[in-house]
Structure 1
């Protein structure tokens, strides 16, 4: 049986990914600080395996403990494949360099970089002891590839996760196993992250009005459209390990 682990599954893209996978009759492990009751109810309705784990991804010890428990629970079931969606992420702090606050800066890297690295490390290590195939999907951003004023921390953390993805892919290929790891850039979506961006100040974020226009002009894609494009790619079996995929290319 295939299992999917989705971080940040309580809302936005994570929720949309989990819903699509439940409808595909895949076993789901939801990870977020609060549980999404709609996912639980949908899984019950569809008769699929579902379990939620609460975890604060900015706390390294908690990440290690929770995901070791998740790995133990899943590998006992001898799954044929595990899909690991490192989807949870934060954009704050939105601020220019020289005005950055230490606490949200450190939290950004813990959630956007350290947590996905630790989680991937746990599952690749456990997979070496079994015949289970692991596919890791790291949600990244176009901000990883270009500088955006006010987003120095977010741009840097997403650039780091892209490089981690590419390096880990090379290592798995060298081991000649079936594991794959990719990054996925979801573009601009109608999610809480966009609300956070629009609530920032013009002094901290030069492109504020542009992002307000995205919302006002209906340019933000619904999360389920982005999630479906990603899941269609994963289920196609035609994934190139180490590649950074962009939703715009998948929706052409």
Structure 2
């Protein structure tokens, strides 16, 4: 029987990869969802006695997201003492002025990955763990972009704002059930997403110079540091009291 059953999306790179490594603790059953499996997780998982499942799927595709969620939760063990869901997968694209956002497919894929997949996985998680006495906690990785507008990021800002409000609704609906849920901004991290941001067309993203300066001056946090802080926050007794939060509030 695992002590902790953890589900993590977007686990193959960046913050997600660091979170996956941080979750490889004895007594854990870790299930990851990403476009590609991470072969480097297998050795540490075996060494620590971790049960590791890696589901390769594209969560930006509605049919694939639905199928992955159904497959995962149909066989989910229900005997763990702790259940953790970390909805980390996300994209900043498409980056463009709102007048140029005319690609319905690109907009739809971003909303599917950043919002719809989170809602699907959360719904299955809630149903699969309903009635259990286990400790149940959810982290939705949000962004300051969902709380403050950035020119060029209308899609990213809108999806993260939606994620924040969705988290508030989940907390309201399940108050008193023991569920704890937080929409957490992780700060500015040195990941591939930041590299994508720095390669944006300045005509589409006026804040480009600020993000380039953060990288040039070494002010981006490391994925490993942020992941460790997120996982520590998830286990705090006061986790979930503030459902819209920022990891930078915790030192």
Corresponding position: 1:208 with 2:208: yes
SS at match of 2:23: helix
Give the Cα separation in 1 of the matches to 2:28 and 2:130: 23
Deviations for 1:12-70, whole angstroms, at most 9, x for unmatched residues? Answer: 11111111111364221111010111112210121211111111101222222212221
Give the Cα separation in 1 of the matches to 2:159 and 2:137: 21
Structure 2 residues not aligned, in runs of 5+: none
Q: Which residue of 1 aligns with 2:14?
A: 12
What is the aligned counterpart of 1:167 among 161, 166, 169?
Answer: 169
CA RMSD of aligned residues (A): 1.4
SS at match of 1:47: coil
Q: Is the 8 A contact 1:2 1:26 kept in 2?
A: yes
Q: Which residue of 2 aligns with 1:35?
A: 37
Q: Which residue of 2 aligns with 1:187?
A: 187
Structure 1 residues not aligned, in runs of 5+: none
- Deviation at residue 212 of structure 1 after TM alignment: 0.8
User: How high is the TM-score relative to the length of structure 2?
Assistant: 0.94
Q: Which residue of 2 aligns with 1:234?
A: 234
Summarize the Cα distance change of 1:241–1:24 in structure 2 as closer, same or farther, 3 Å threshold.
Answer: farther
Q: Is the 8 A contact 1:43 1:49 kept in 2?
A: yes
Deviations for 1:85-133, whole angstroms, at most 9, x for unmatched residues? Answer: 0000000011001111222111110000000011101111222254444
SS at match of 2:235: helix
Q: Is the 8 A contact 1:7 1:32 kept in 2?
A: yes
Aligned pair count reads 248
Q: Which residue of 2 aligns with 1:68?
A: 70
